[in-house]
């Protein structure tokens, strides 16, 4: 159902991203993956500014997987920006973090996150979680269509 929606992964850890990418392939997730390693880069991607400006803009993601603990502009700030932007707020944002702090969980849901996934350290549990993510978010959830960029460009 949502097999062609681009997924933006905002993750600063190379090993975590590599594991995520490998597991996506292993469970048969064909969606195009885009990675931003910093919060500032994610906002440039979403707004087609900086290195993402030009004749071939970055695609609007259908879903954002967001790490919380980023250097510089952290995931909490990225989430707040996305959910306060009328052209971005319809994009589901799933926080994907090692933090099990109840304050983090409460805060991201209060700021509009669609879900909160704890990164398992065990590979078997990680694979199972990604399979469930695929089954739920990519196979069953109806996602919003259209990117809204036409109305946001001047």
pTM over 0.85: yes
pLDDT > 90? residue 114: yes
pLDDT single digits (tens) 87-102: 999 999 999 999 999 9
1 close to 136: Cβ distance less than 8 angstroms: no
The yes-or-no verdict on residue 109 having pLDDT over 80 is yes
So what's the pLDDT on residue 141?
A: 87
Q: How far apart are CA 71 and CA 77, in angstroms?
A: 11
Using an 8 Å Cβ cutoff, are 61 and 88 in contact?
A: no
- The architecture of the domain spanning 7-142 is 3-Layer(aba) Sandwich (3.40)
The total of other beta-carbon atoms located within 10 Å of residue 123's CB is 11
pLDDT bin (cut points 50, 70, 90) of residue 3 is confident
Residue 147: predicted pLDDT: 52
User: What are the strands of the beta sheet with 63-66, ordered from one edge?
Assistant: 33-36, 7-10, 63-66, 93-97, 115-118
Q: Whole-angstrom Cα distance, residue 142 to residue 127?
A: 23
Residue with tokens 């920006």: 81
Q: How many CB atoms lie within 10 A of CB 4?
A: 9
Question: Who's near 29: CB < 8 A, 6+ residues apart?
Answer: 130, 134, 138
| pLDDT given for residue 154 in this prediction | 28
Q: Please count the other Cβ atoms lying within 10 Å of the Cβ belonging to residue 23.
A: 19
Q: Which pLDDT tens digit goes with each residue over 24-81?
A: 999 999 999 999 999 999 999 999 999 999 877 899 999 999 999 998 999 999 999 9
Q: What is the pLDDT of residue 143?
A: 82
Q: Could you identify the residue written with the tokens 């969606």?
A: 31
């Amino acid at each position: 159902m949502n097999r062609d929606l681009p997924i933006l992964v905002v993750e600063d850890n190379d090993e975590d991203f590599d594991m995520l990418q490998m597991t996506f392939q292993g469970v048969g997730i064909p969606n195009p993956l885009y990675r931003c390693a910093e919060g500032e880069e994610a906002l440039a991607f979403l707004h087609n500014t900086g290195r993402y400006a030009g004749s071939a803009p970055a695609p609007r993601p259908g879903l954002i997987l967001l790490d919380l603990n980023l250097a510089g502009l952290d995931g909490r700030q990225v989430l707040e920006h996305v959910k306060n932007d009328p052209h971005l707020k319809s994009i589901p944002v799933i926080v994907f973090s090692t933090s099990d702090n109840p304050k983090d969980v409460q805060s991201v849901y209060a700021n509009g996150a669609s879900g909160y996934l704890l990164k398992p350290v065990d590979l078997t549990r990680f694979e199972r979680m990604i399979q469930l993510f695929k089954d739920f978010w990519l196979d069953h959830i109806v996602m919003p269509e259209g990117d809204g960029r036409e109305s946001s460009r001047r």
